[in-house]
Amino acid sequence: MQKRKLGKSGLEVSAMGLGCMRMSFGDKPTDKQEMIAFLRKAVERGITFFDTAEVYGPFTNEELVGEALEPFKGQVVIATKFGWKHGEKGPHPSVGVDSRPEQIKRVADASLKRLRVEVIDLFYQHRPDPNVPIEDVAGAVKDLIQAGKVKHFGLSESNAELIRRAHAVQPVTALQSEYSIWWRSIEESILPTCEELGIGLVPYSPLGRGYLTGKIDENTTYDNTDIRRNNPRFTQEAIKANRVVIDLLERVASQKGATPAQIALAWLLAQKPWIVPIPGSRKLERLDENNGAVAIELTPDDLSQIDSAMSQITVVGDRY
């Protein structure tokens, strides 16, 4: 597995990371022991970058990742996140955000225990909190870094202004945002800001929540626990209308002896050398397929053809 550095931070990770959310949240339930075995096989295949969050589950995803990766301490990089408010039924996006410094520090201590580590490799603010100045958020993480509890500070879904303000207080190692061949809004101001400041980009949903694999059609059904069940891009109409994106990926894939998913991931990797996608596989064949994207080279001509074709396509349905 090739390695990449997240911006100028020196944090080196596998060129393809692994998003762990769906192993215990937002999709059909899975067997914990199966997922532990899967995570350990991912390490054997060269994955060193794993993404989780306290809100996934809640809490159960961090516990799963912590138990699975405990034998590989020091060999892998685990990223987790803070920033959701805790309701009586546990943290949930609908309960609201909470990035007060005391909450950040409380979450860090709890995450350290669940992840079974002495230090959190990368600690993201999960979503901006309009009630807490970003300088206070960055300052709280700076305190945690000085205390030896956190190594690197990250942001997620932040705009260019917030990134700059946070970075001035505590250098930001990575920004996690949705980015893929069919969701490119960060290209206007956020991507150039990351480049200027030397911040790595970690795209989540790099395969469009599974749509860009080409394996979803208008007859696909979703479990009650699957977050795509109410997603505007997964209505029958949107699935049918967006088929043109899959047709494009399939055309390029046939020229490269690849799959649509591999082309979607290779396209991301080709954008910048400091981009590390985190597709959320749960099956070994999918993991191997995704990892195969690292070896696919898209030429400048390939990339320009893809950009030109995408500029003629109107993607139907918002991302949330």
| CA atoms of 131 and 114, how far apart (whole Å) | 28
Give all strands of the β-sheet with 150-156 in edge-to-edge order.
18-19, 49-51, 77-82, 120-125, 150-156, 172-178, 200-204
Give the CA distances from residue 41 to residues 3, 30, 303, in Å, rounded to whole numbers and listed in that order.
18, 16, 32
Q: Out of 56, 124, 179, 204, pick the active-site residue.
A: 56
- E strand spans, 67-196: 77-82, 86-87, 90-91, 120-125, 150-156, 172-178
Give the CA distances from residue 285 to residues 65, 90, 288, 300, in Å, rounded to whole numbers and listed in that order.
20, 34, 5, 29
Give the CA distances from residue 244 to residues 80, 279, 282, 301, 310, in Å, rounded to whole numbers and listed in that order.
35, 22, 27, 20, 9
Alpha carbon 145 to chain centroid, angstroms: 22
How do 150-156 and 120-125 pair as beta strands?
A: parallel
Give the CA distances from residue 142 to residues 115, 152, 258, 320, in Å, rounded to whole numbers and listed in that order.
20, 9, 43, 32
Token pair belonging to 116:
């079974």
Is the separation of the CB atoms in 64 and 20 below 8 Å?
A: yes
Is 204 known to be catalytic? Answer: no
First to last CA, the chain: 33
Q: Which residues are catalytic?
A: 56
